[in-house]
Chain A
Amino acid sequence: MITFATISFLGLPLLAILLLNIVRKETGGTISINIGFVVSIIQMIAAVVCLSLLWLHGKDFIEFSLFWDMNATLGSARFSVDLFSLVVLFCIGMVSLASLLTAKKTIGAKALNYTNLLMVIMLGMNGIAVVTDLFSLYVFLEITGIASFVMIALLHDKRGLEGAFKYLVMSAIASALILGSLALIFTQTGSLVYGDVANALADWRNAQYAPLLVVAFVAFIAGFSIKAGIAPFHGWLPDAYQSAPASVSVLLGGIVTKMAGVYAIIRVLNSVFVSMPMINQTLLILGLISIVFGAVAACGQRDFKRILAYSSISQIGYIIIGIASGSLLGFVGAMLHFFNHATFKTTLFVNSAAVEAQTGTTDIDQLGGLQARMPVTAVSSILAFLSMAGIPPLAGFWSKLLIIIAVWQSASVAGGAIALAASIFTAAYFLILQRKVFFGPLEDHLTEITEAKGTISLAAVLLSIVTVAFGVLFPVILNFLHLQGIL
């Protein structure tokens, strides 16, 4: 059971790619999307199954391999899932499902290519979640990257190609930085498996090539900051989000850049660079810059998706400062905010897809008063934004609270205060967006608009339910984590 569940994370999308390319091309469209549904739903189920098995057996992690069993010698890169990676795998399944639901109505003739690439990107992200080796992490980062460049350029339009190229260039610089850093770390450790590196770095100040390691850390932080889109490494992010097709920006905004950047940073900080105050402090400052910068920049934007992109930069900052606080509370806060961000940001991108599909534009100056015409979209976007701004009963409040407490406790009172104060800007751009798009009088040319069709609204509703339920049930979840000895 457990073997089957773990292997399905990597095996199932591969199988799906085989299946997808067997079917005839004429009928490929709808079938391929349906196969995608099955894969993403099975992934969510498998994550839940693994999670419950993990708790049933009282284990911290499950190790597994795909092709052949490996003896655990120095440098052997096995796969492993633990609590955090399972939460993340669930998020991947959830966001992929939302993206597919959006794509069903918007992608048209490109369905087969879209699903193929979605499977590749899922493989990449699942790989990031399950690997236990820095080099394998880089490999899967690159896979995720390549698949997302192509997906952004999927429609072959001018803007999409431009966004894809910008992402590609920045991502290539990031890869060079990360790989250079890995080379330097490898000099010291002789292996890139998380545990080996952590052991070798335990006493890094006295290590033989210590100055190399300092350079490696700088390159490492810079590389992953580019991948995550932390300010000031964020340049490509709004362009990529804005130019991508609707269903692809759901995927990118909801999970891809978070996996490639944020998850990797959390994972590496949590299991490789353990207790290195220098790295934590640096990330804390970068995270705070990101929070303020993203929120302020979002206030001035005029495009629905661009506002969401800048708000992503801001929210990523929260996750980063959570993990940079270095405490267990901060880690749990970051993990939960990761989940919450995947939920509410996906909701918002689905909403933007709905608006784009129905009105043909995402320019907020040309929109207005859609609340009456698109009630589902309006309500779900309000819920998602309230969650993002940290309004109490909703999910975002709790994770933000945990993060701010953790930062506060890590002797960085100013950091906590800045993070708290930046919530005002979150509320500000939320109000700007809602007022321009959903509230106010209906624009004359929008009177014929109707609610988005079937699956898009379904995705928004499902994600809103998750947001609300998670918020309401949060004390239970926290208590459960407490009982399990995790918090």
Chain B
Amino acid sequence: MNIVSAIILTAALLMIIAGMFCLVRTYNLIRIIIAIELAMKAITLLLVFSGWVNGNLALAQTFVITMIVLEVIVAVVAAGIIVSLYRKNGNVDIRELTNLKG
């Protein structure tokens, strides 16, 4: 068992846990996106780690780059929706988002 591998995996898991915890706990819409970004950082780490482990780092890097592009677009769209919601509701509180239920 390679100690660095263990630490990388643990760090990735801690980041994911931090992200998920923040996701469930927070009331702020922007922080939800930050939480998702945190989880995505961990995933990036995992992707490069897997390439590092199996020796196919070049392929892993192409995955990471494509993923980053997607991540940015998601963040932009999310920010756009949040800003629009702010214009409608006057705040960015997730508890306001309960018009649709049942």
Q: What residues make up the interface of A, taking CB atoms closer than 8 Å to B? A: 75, 135, 139, 142, 146, 149-150, 153, 156, 158-159, 161-166, 168-169, 172-173, 175-176, 179-180, 182-184, 186-192, 238-239, 242-243, 301-303, 306
Identify the closest chain B residue to A167 (Cβ): B81
The answer to whether A168 touches B59 (Cβ under 8 A) is no
A190 touching B54 in the complex, CB below 8 Å, given contacts A150-B77, A162-B100, A184-B46 = yes
13 further contact pairs, Cβ within 8 A, besides A158-B99, A190-B54: A156-B84, A159-B100, A162-B85, A163-B100, A168-B81, A179-B43, A180-B46, A183-B43, A184-B50, A187-B50, A187-B53, A192-B63, A242-B100
* Minimal beta-carbon separation of B100 from chain A (angstroms): 4
The answer to whether B82 touches A165 (Cβ under 8 A) is yes
The answer to whether B59 touches A191 (Cβ under 8 A) is yes
A-B pairs with beta carbons under 8 Å apart, 21 shown:
A146-B70, A146-B77, A149-B81, A153-B81, A161-B85, A161-B88, A162-B85, A162-B100, A165-B82, A165-B97, A166-B97, A176-B19, A176-B36, A179-B43, A180-B43, A183-B50, A187-B50, A192-B63, A238-B100, A302-B102, A303-B102
From B55, B81, B88, B99, contact of A164 by CB (8 A): B81
Identify the closest chain A residue to B96 (Cβ): A162
The answer to whether B56 touches A161 (Cβ under 8 A) is no
The answer to whether A187 touches B54 (Cβ under 8 A) is yes
The answer to whether A186 touches B43 (Cβ under 8 A) is no
The answer to whether A168 touches B74 (Cβ under 8 A) is yes
Cβ of B59: which chain A residues have Cβ within 8 Å of it? Answer: 75, 190-191
Cβ of B11: which chain A residues have Cβ within 8 Å of it? Answer: none
Cβ of A169: which chain B residues have Cβ within 8 Å of it? Answer: 23, 32, 36
* Minimal beta-carbon separation of B99 from chain A (angstroms): 6
Cβ of B29: which chain A residues have Cβ within 8 Å of it? Answer: 165
Cβ of B55: which chain A residues have Cβ within 8 Å of it? Answer: 190
Q: Mark B20-54, 1 if CB is under 8 A from A, else 0.
A: 00010000010010001001101100110111011
Docked pose: A393 CA to B59 CA in angstroms: 51
* Minimal beta-carbon separation of B23 from chain A (angstroms): 7
Docked pose: A48 CA to B24 CA in angstroms: 47
Identify the closest chain A residue to B88 (Cβ): A158
Docked pose: A182 CA to B67 CA in angstroms: 12
The answer to whether B54 touches A186 (Cβ under 8 A) is yes
B61-94 interface (Cβ within 8 A of A)? 63, 66-67, 70, 73-74, 77-78, 81-82, 84-85, 88-89
The answer to whether A187 touches B49 (Cβ under 8 A) is yes
The answer to whether A135 touches B50 (Cβ under 8 A) is no
* Minimal beta-carbon separation of B92 from chain A (angstroms): 10
Docked pose: A172 CA to B29 CA in angstroms: 14
Docked pose: A150 CA to B101 CA in angstroms: 21
Cβ of B81: which chain A residues have Cβ within 8 Å of it? Answer: 149, 153, 161, 164-165, 168
The answer to whether B46 touches A183 (Cβ under 8 A) is yes
Cβ of A183: which chain B residues have Cβ within 8 Å of it? Answer: 43, 46-47, 49-50
Identify the closest chain B residue to A150 (Cβ): B77
* Minimal beta-carbon separation of A157 from chain B (angstroms): 8
The answer to whether B67 touches A179 (Cβ under 8 A) is yes
Docked pose: A188 CA to B50 CA in angstroms: 8
Cβ of A139: which chain B residues have Cβ within 8 Å of it? Answer: 66, 70
| Residue B17 CB within 8 A of the other chain | no
Docked pose: A192 CA to B47 CA in angstroms: 12
Cβ of A75: which chain B residues have Cβ within 8 Å of it? Answer: 56, 59
Docked pose: A189 CA to B51 CA in angstroms: 10
* Minimal beta-carbon separation of A352 from chain B (angstroms): 16
Docked pose: A303 CA to B85 CA in angstroms: 24
Identify the closest chain B residue to A176 (Cβ): B39
* Minimal beta-carbon separation of A189 from chain B (angstroms): 8
* Minimal beta-carbon separation of A190 from chain B (angstroms): 5
A162 touching B99 in the complex, CB below 8 Å, given contacts A176-B36, A186-B47, A187-B50 = yes
Cβ of B53: which chain A residues have Cβ within 8 Å of it? Answer: 187
Docked pose: A276 CA to B74 CA in angstroms: 33
Docked pose: A165 CA to B28 CA in angstroms: 13
* Minimal beta-carbon separation of B39 from chain A (angstroms): 5
Cβ of A303: which chain B residues have Cβ within 8 Å of it? Answer: 102
Cβ of B42: which chain A residues have Cβ within 8 Å of it? Answer: 180
* Minimal beta-carbon separation of A248 from chain B (angstroms): 15
* Minimal beta-carbon separation of B91 from chain A (angstroms): 13
Docked pose: A239 CA to B16 CA in angstroms: 26
* Minimal beta-carbon separation of A223 from chain B (angstroms): 11
Pairs of residues from A and B, 7 with the lowest C-beta to C-beta distance, nearest first: A187-B50, A183-B46, A239-B100, A186-B50, A172-B36, A183-B47, A176-B39
Cβ of B49: which chain A residues have Cβ within 8 Å of it? Answer: 183, 187
Docked pose: A242 CA to B63 CA in angstroms: 35
Cβ of A142: which chain B residues have Cβ within 8 Å of it? Answer: 70, 74
**Of B19, B99, B102, most A-chain CB atoms within 10 Å:** B102
Cβ of B23: which chain A residues have Cβ within 8 Å of it? Answer: 169, 173
Cβ of A158: which chain B residues have Cβ within 8 Å of it? Answer: 85, 88-89, 99
